[in-house]
């Protein structure tokens, strides 16, 4: 099982759009989203995954994550088992020095723009670009499973 080390930010400007190296149309829904663990199904363009995420540590940066690629057909067959209110979003992948920032423009269930950066370690320095605003890492109101 992998450990995910991630920081999350609000986005204040749309200048990330011209910096993006790719964009993905994502549909995701949750089989389970209790406080201790979430299980989600995600379809992004022509690929799909099932992902299990554990509870974040006290900092909100680190949690266990297990992910397995499945077929799009398998993912679509699991969607009817998922909880109501699937998420629809467009993801922009933006290179930032040796890292990547992903910016999610949420369409459903509500409009919002959030950015995430995954770090190789908790002590990896990160200098946010000017289009990132307030850091919301660890704030449960900005977890995908709560949107």
The most distant pair of C-alpha atoms in the chain lies apart, rounded to whole Å, by 41
Which of 107, 108, 106, 103 minimizes the C-alpha distance to 133?
103
Active-site residue flag, 30? yes
Angle at 14 between CA 11 and CA 15, to 5 degrees: 110
Q: Is 62 in a helix, a strand, or coil?
A: strand
CB atoms within 10 A of CB 97: 10
Residue with tokens 């370690």: 121
Length of the chain: 147
Catalytic residue selected from 30, 97, 142, 143? 30
**Catalytic residue positions, numbered:** 30
């Amino acid at each position: 099982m992998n450990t995910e080390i991630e920081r999350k930010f609000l986005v204040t400007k749309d200048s990330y759009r011209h910096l993006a190296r790719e964009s993905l149309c994502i549909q995701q829904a949750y089989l389970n989203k209790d406080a201790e663990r979430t299980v989600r199904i995600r379809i992004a363009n022509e690929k799909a995954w099932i992902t299990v995420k554990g509870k974040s540590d006290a900092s909100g940066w680190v949690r266990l994550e297990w992910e397995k690629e499945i077929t799009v057909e398998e993912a679509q067959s699991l969607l009817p088992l998922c909880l109501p209110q699937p998420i629809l979003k467009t993801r922009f992948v933006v290179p930032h020095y040796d890292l990547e920032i992903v910016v999610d423009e949420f369409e459903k269930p509500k409009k919002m723009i959030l950015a995430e950066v995954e770090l190789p370690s908790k002590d990896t320095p990160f200098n946010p670009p000017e289009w990132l605003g307030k850091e919301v890492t660890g704030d449960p109101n900005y977890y995908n499973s709560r949107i």
